A and B are shown apart, each in its own frame.
Chain A
């Protein structure tokens, strides 16, 4: 079954993405059925199809997804529920030119399917999917400035962030954040989940996840207990734990 139009397109894409992998897909605008799915590491340039399970309750699909660690959408054999940009019945356009920026294809495809309610936007703004790195000269920052930034990136406080169930870890620079709210917001965006609000008594009540960190002593602590500056200097790595596992750390779920 293939559902493409209108608000009936469920957020299953994001649903199982939530549980599974930290990935580079951003889904936004749920309420009007507009799905924005950005492609992460497309295996080849020039292809812009997503194969996604569209049905909400297809647990087998979910299991499939989990076991295959969905990142490269092309590896999933789900032609029947293929979600792609292109008029029904067409295949991808043959391209004459040798080097085509992924984003150029995007433009083409978007024009063709302007009636459809699905629109594909370029990669999410939080992290750096390789596809974005392939766009030469974007964002338009002078190379001199870009090089200087990279040099001083050595000044950052980079920590690994793992999430239970995710196939690979991420890294973030704690220096970029002014306090816990920004950090949590960034984690929420990066991993497509909600962490909720911190309370001293109850931890992160009401959320499926609890952010924890390993401190200098090797202990696993709940994020938010100590002042931000102290946290930045003592945090060695972050781990987004399933709430069920985080009970001992004061998570109220």
Chain B
């Protein structure tokens, strides 16, 4: 029936289909839908930048406006991927620039972004509107200056947790006076100073500015002036909150805050005075739906608790573990709409007065809408996890990190298999899971049996034999990303079902039991996979004997073949 509709009608219908998955499905229905879909597709998401070449992407989607690219494997966040492994964005920008694609939005995660790429980007696309960089590296403030200077219609510049070299070039001053289109500006991760005058003027001429996140170099008095100019702000990241409580600047700020009735999201506090009181913020807390104090290292637990008591509408909370179990109890009592919670360790190996299973249980009892969790803690018990599973069956993301990687149930000394088993059995919509603590193969049996929607699984220091990994590969039909470190999984697990890896985006295995020979054999059987081995520890030029254990292996499905930009220590088999 649909064949009798003219293309324009079908196009119009497709306009309502936004999600990537749905559009992918549409394109598979028939040739004409494939054709229409590719011409009308504006947003593309590439989860692994090496899975396809930019040229091929552009050929298929000439109408591309928004591109999201991810580069390095997730474990690169934890320094497990060697420097200069790859993930360079330049070839993509170059290819897009050469084509006639009218790129407007570029979102990158874990990629290497050079100043050159930023300059090329800024000069090549007249209608470029939005740049979002998450966990990227390789650029300096010079690259940002190019973006500021050349992107005349820039709406969004969002820099999240990037390593940026400061060249003291006053990049912020490079926004021309004619630039009035900014909606979102986030430079919280920058270490250097910005011209405060330029910043204030920029804010003053950006009536659409909704989100502003400052870095720690912006002092309190500047913050106050900025907030005066932008009472419409919905999302604010405070840079420095350092002040003398008696000072006029602080009193002014307190009054200004009262006027910011549109603020629903607050973050930052990158620098605070000792014994910092957050009382100035209390008036706006009842409006907050999102609060991120995970970088506010100087704020005491008692102060966090006082603040949270006011945040009755909170849906998302990122906080440090100095809030303690008691503080989480207060969160549970106050934040009834909480959907996402992240509790970060306040010291690299944890704070002795920090959170345990008790805090998590309290949260589960008080916050039934919770669906996303990242929880760093000192200890966990099966009983607690079973309770949490019962109270919160709606988890989509459940990431638990017990700081002592091999710690068993703190009460019974048993492995935590039963606890995690309860989670997967109860949370049928679970898409992402990270395990920690003492775990045997049993937990993987449970995961394979119950985690039907699981797409991403992170495993460390767990399991006893190949069976563990096999349970997961056999059971989790929707698995896309599997990352494993320091587990006794070996060749048998790797090679039993090689076809599985073509249904997945990628597999990472480091410090496991797989050998070079097995990886070679896998690569041979599966030409659509790139199987990369890193051997950066080898001093000598080794010949890769088959029996040798592989330190790090990363394999991914690809249409692009072997990549040409791999450094010397990466062997693509």
Binding site for B on A (CB under 8 A): 29, 32, 34, 36, 96-99, 101, 103-104, 106-108, 111, 119, 121-128, 132, 135-146, 148-150, 152-153, 155, 173, 175-178, 182, 185-186, 189-190, 229
B346 to A, closest residue via Cβ: A176
Does B359 belong to the interface (CB within 8 Å)?
no
A104 touches which one: B163, B401, B464, B486 (CB < 8 A)?
B486
CA distance A100 to B488 in the complex (A): 13
Docked-complex contact B344 and A125, CB < 8 angstroms: no
Docked-complex contact B300 and A121, CB < 8 angstroms: no
B316 CB to closest chain A CB (Å) equals 17
B78 touches which one: A97, A128, A137 (CB < 8 A)?
A137
CA distance A32 to B347 in the complex (A): 32
Docked-complex contact B352 and A34, CB < 8 angstroms: no
CA distance A33 to B407 in the complex (A): 17
- Binary CB contact string for chain B from 188 to 202 against chain A (1 if under 8 A, 0 otherwise): 010000000000000
A133 CB to closest chain B CB (Å) equals 9
- Binary CB contact string for chain B from 48 to 91 against chain A (1 if under 8 A, 0 otherwise): 00000000000000000000000000010111100000000000
- Binary CB contact string for chain B from 541 to 558 against chain A (1 if under 8 A, 0 otherwise): 000000001010000000
Docked-complex contact A141 and B79, CB < 8 angstroms: no
B377 to A, closest residue via Cβ: A125
Does B408 belong to the interface (CB within 8 Å)?
yes
Does B460 belong to the interface (CB within 8 Å)?
yes
- Identify 20 new A-B residue pairs, CB closer than 8 A, beyond the known A101-B511, A140-B460, A141-B345: A97-B549, A99-B551, A104-B486, A119-B408, A125-B378, A125-B404, A137-B75, A137-B80, A138-B405, A139-B349, A140-B434, A140-B458, A143-B78, A150-B348, A175-B298, A175-B300, A176-B352, A178-B302, A178-B324, A189-B352
- Binary CB contact string for chain B from 296 to 318 against chain A (1 if under 8 A, 0 otherwise): 01101110000000000000000
CA distance A135 to B297 in the complex (A): 24
Does B350 belong to the interface (CB within 8 Å)?
yes
Docked-complex contact B460 and A138, CB < 8 angstroms: yes
B403 to A, closest residue via Cβ: A139
CA distance A190 to B295 in the complex (A): 27
A sample of 29 cross-chain residue pairs with beta-carbon separation below 8 angstroms, ordered by A number, consists of A97-B551, A98-B537, A99-B537, A107-B488, A123-B404, A125-B404, A128-B348, A135-B405, A137-B75, A137-B80, A138-B460, A139-B349, A139-B405, A143-B77, A144-B162, A145-B294, A145-B295, A146-B348, A148-B295, A148-B297, A149-B346, A150-B348, A152-B298, A155-B274, A155-B298, A175-B298, A186-B353, A189-B352, A229-B275
A186 to B, closest residue via Cβ: B352
CA distance A111 to B441 in the complex (A): 12
With most chain B CB atoms within 10 A of its CB, the pick from A96, A128, A149, A186 is: A149
CA distance A142 to B406 in the complex (A): 20
CA distance A21 to B550 in the complex (A): 40
CA distance A55 to B270 in the complex (A): 53
Chain A residues within an 8 Å CB radius of B345: 139, 141
CB under 8 Å from chain A, chain B span 376-409 = 376, 378-379, 401, 403-408
Chain B residues within an 8 Å CB radius of A186: 352-353
Docked-complex contact B346 and A145, CB < 8 angstroms: no
Chain A residues within an 8 Å CB radius of B353: 176-178, 182, 185-186
Chain B residues within an 8 Å CB radius of A126: 350, 352
Does B334 belong to the interface (CB within 8 Å)?
no
Chain A residues within an 8 Å CB radius of B461: 103, 107
User: Assuming the A-B contacts A103-B406, A103-B461, are A145 and B79 also in contact, with contact meaning beta carbons closer than 8 angstroms in the complex?
Assistant: no
User: Assuming the A-B contacts A101-B511, A136-B79, are A182 and B352 also in contact, with contact meaning beta carbons closer than 8 angstroms in the complex?
Assistant: yes
Chain B residues within an 8 Å CB radius of A103: 405-406, 461, 486
A148 CB to closest chain B CB (Å) equals 6
CA distance A159 to B352 in the complex (A): 16
User: Assuming the A-B contacts A149-B346, A182-B353, are A121 and B135 also in contact, with contact meaning beta carbons closer than 8 angstroms in the complex?
Assistant: no
CA distance A101 to B324 in the complex (A): 31
Interface size for chain B: under 10, 10 to 19, 20 to 34, or 35 or more residues?
35 or more
Chain B residues within an 8 Å CB radius of A127: 349
Docked-complex contact A176 and B403, CB < 8 angstroms: no
- Binary CB contact string for chain B from 313 to 345 against chain A (1 if under 8 A, 0 otherwise): 000000000101000000000000000000011
CA distance A107 to B484 in the complex (A): 15
Docked-complex contact B352 and A122, CB < 8 angstroms: no
Chain B residues within an 8 Å CB radius of A142: 77-78, 135, 161
CA distance A175 to B353 in the complex (A): 11
Docked-complex contact A125 and B403, CB < 8 angstroms: yes
CA distance A128 to B198 in the complex (A): 44
CA distance A143 to B75 in the complex (A): 11
Does B559 belong to the interface (CB within 8 Å)?
no
Does B351 belong to the interface (CB within 8 Å)?
yes
User: Assuming the A-B contacts A125-B403, A136-B79, are A104 and B511 also in contact, with contact meaning beta carbons closer than 8 angstroms in the complex?
Assistant: yes
Does B28 belong to the interface (CB within 8 Å)?
no
Chain A residues within an 8 Å CB radius of B251: none
User: Assuming the A-B contacts A126-B352, A141-B345, A229-B275, are A178 and B301 also in contact, with contact meaning beta carbons closer than 8 angstroms in the complex?
Assistant: yes
Docked-complex contact A139 and B549, CB < 8 angstroms: no
CA distance A101 to B460 in the complex (A): 13
Docked-complex contact B486 and A107, CB < 8 angstroms: yes
CA distance A104 to B349 in the complex (A): 19
A131 CB to closest chain B CB (Å) equals 12
Closest 8 CB pairs of A and B: A137-B78, A182-B353, A152-B297, A186-B352, A144-B161, A122-B406, A142-B77, A137-B80
Does B431 belong to the interface (CB within 8 Å)?
no
Docked-complex contact B298 and A141, CB < 8 angstroms: no
CB under 8 Å from chain A, chain B span 437-467 = 438, 458, 460-461, 464
